């Protein structure tokens, strides 16, 4: 009973202590709010109400009143950059960097913001210099990621490889990116007949990603450039086991090699087996052209008709009408051309590749999406094929 009375007496004491603590906090907040320029609070209000133009005007006025408000400079510079006023953002953050009264953390923050300003303005050399200064600081990973972006934009693949390998490994995505950097080097070496250097880069690309279709394709290109068509065929055929969706990209390479080896029929049989197992509009188009060239219009027409029955598509119908024009009597060609023109107008909308990451569409295939910068996000399949997938 005495224990309960003690607690009853303690309640008023706790209440008084809580009231005193609240008073102290309120006085502290009031003191801080009075120390801030009134225009600063006005600017915050505009920001909360999604009125960035008025917020910027208020913040500029606040900076004039109190030049020591570092966080306000950061906020204002960020607003300038978001609005596309990179010149003003650069001046704001450069002024911060030049100040002598900043702490190390504040100076690094100012440098990081300045680097983003330069990057947004397209001044890649200046952005690179800033982010290099931030290496081996607490913002090291942030600097490396931006340097990687810069070197990819500049197509400086050797530096991109160096930076990527310094970043924390991110599994398959990281391996895919670095493998593609080596493939970029190999592609340039093959174009300039530096075959030994190309082989070294391709080998490294396959070490990074054993399933790299691009590396296998480049290895075939390298053997073909050296005149070893059989080795080239072996490399290109490896694509089937890596990812058969990409077989359409090597179809022409395969047929050219078989033609040089005087084995066209063997090559066409291979393409027919690919088409039967892995339906593809691009693969159909490649086989159609060779069928037309070797066996004639009637055989090409039969090929497309059989495939259209198996996989009905507008693009397949367009190809069928093209074959029909070659085999139809002269009196019927005008009608077929009219129908083909109507169908072709619709196929232009579905005969595109689409990025899996951002949805950007293009008429040609890319290893790296020109919109979002993702690597191998363009499956070599037309958008109509995706629309018809179950």
| pLDDT in 10s for each residue of the chain, 390 residues | 444 554 444 445 445 445 444 444 434 333 444 444 555 555 555 554 555 556 555 555 554 434 456 776 777 778 778 878 888 888 878 878 887 877 888 899 989 999 999 999 999 999 999 999 999 999 999 999 999 999 999 999 999 999 998 887 765 567 899 999 999 999 999 999 999 999 999 999 999 999 999 999 999 999 999 999 999 999 999 999 999 999 999 999 999 999 999 999 999 999 999 988 988 888 888 888 888 888 888 888 788 888 778 877 766 677 777 777 777 777 676 766 776 666 666 566 656 788 888 888 888 888 999 888 889 888 887 765 544 444
Residue 263 backbone phi and psi in degrees, to 5: -130, 45
Provide the pLDDT for residue 56: 54
Residue with tokens 């960097």: 97
**Taking the CA of residue 196 as centre, how many other CA atoms within 13 Å lie in the half-sphere pointing to its CB?**
0
Cα–Cα dist 22/14, whole Å: 12
Provide the pLDDT for residue 53: 58
Q: What burial class does residue 112 get, using C-beta atoms within 10 Å of its C-beta: 0-12 exposed, 13-18 middle, 19+ buried?
A: buried
Cα–Cα dist 44/56, whole Å: 10
Q: What is the 3-state secondary structure (H, E, C) of 144-186?
A: HHHHHHHHHHHCCHHHHHHHHHHCCCCCHHHHHHHHHHHHHHH
For residues 201 and 183, the answer to whether their CB atoms sit within 8 Å is yes
Using DSSP, state whether 354 is helix, strand or coil: strand
Please give the model's pTM, rounded to 2 decimal places. Answer: 0.75
Choose among 299, 267, 260: nearest CA to 283. 267
Using DSSP, state whether 78 is helix, strand or coil: helix
Q: Which residues of 319-331 are buried (b: 16+ CB within 10 A; e: fewer)?
A: bbbbbbeeebeee
Residue with tokens 């209000």: 45
Residue 375 backbone phi and psi in degrees, to 5: -95, 135
From residue 117, give the alpha-carbon distance in Å to each of 77, 94, 111.
Answer: 9, 10, 10
Residue with tokens 């917020």: 55
Using DSSP, state whether 368 is helix, strand or coil: strand
Cα–Cα dist 18/23, whole Å: 9
Provide the pLDDT for residue 259: 94
Distance of CA 201 to the CA centre of its chain: 22
Q: What is the DSSP string of 10-62?
A: HHHHHHHHHHHHHHHHHHHHHHHHHHS-HHHHHHHHHHHTT-HHHHHHHHHHH
């Amino acid at each position: 009973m005495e224990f309960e009375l003690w607690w009853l007496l303690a309640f008023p004491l706790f209440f008084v202590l809580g009231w005193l603590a609240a008073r102290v906090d309120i006085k502290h907040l009031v003191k801080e709010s009075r120390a801030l320029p009134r225009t600063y609070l006005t600017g915050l209000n505009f920001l909360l109400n999604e009125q960035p133009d008025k917020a910027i005007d208020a913040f500029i006025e606040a900076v004039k009143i109190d030049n020591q408000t570092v966080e306000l400079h950061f906020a204002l510079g960020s607003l300038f950059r978001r609005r596309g006023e990179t010149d003003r953002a650069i001046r704001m953050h450069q002024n911060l960097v030049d100040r002598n009264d900043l702490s190390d953390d504040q100076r690094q923050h100012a440098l990081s913001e300045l680097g983003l300003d330069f990057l947004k303005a397209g001044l890649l050399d200046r952005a690179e210099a800033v982010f290099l200064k931030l290496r081996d600081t607490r913002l090291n990973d942030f600097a490396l990621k931006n340097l990687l972006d810069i070197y990819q934009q500049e197509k400086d693949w050797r530096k991109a490889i160096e930076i990527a390998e310094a970043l924390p490994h991110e599994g398959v995505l990281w391996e895919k990116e670095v493998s593609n950097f080596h493939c970029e080097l190999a592609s340039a070496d093959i174009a300039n007949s530096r075959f030994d250097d190309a082989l070294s880069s391709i080998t490294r690309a396959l070490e990074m990603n054993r399933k790299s279709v691009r590396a296998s394709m480049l290895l075939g290109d390298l053997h073909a450039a050296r005149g070893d068509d059989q080795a080239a065929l072996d490399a290109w055929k490896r694509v089937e086991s890596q990812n058969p969706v990409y077989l359409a990209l090597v179809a022409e390479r395969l047929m050219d090699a078989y033609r040089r080896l005087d084995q066209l029929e063997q090559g066409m049989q291979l393409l027919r087996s690919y088409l039967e197992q892995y339906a593809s509009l691009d693969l159909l188009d490649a086989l159609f052209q060779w069928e037309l060239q070797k066996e004639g219009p009637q055989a090409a027409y039969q090929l497309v008709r059989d495939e259209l029955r198996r996989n009905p598509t507008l693009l397949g119908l367009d190809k069928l009408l093209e074959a029909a024009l070659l085999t139809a009597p002269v009196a019927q060609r005008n009608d077929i051309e009219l129908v083909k023109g109507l169908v072709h107008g619709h196929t232009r909308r579905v005969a595109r590749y689409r990025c899996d990451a951002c949805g950007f569409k293009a008429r040609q295939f890319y290893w790296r999406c020109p919109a979002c910068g993702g690597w191998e996000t363009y499956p070599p399949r037309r958008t109509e094929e995706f629309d018809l997938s179950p």
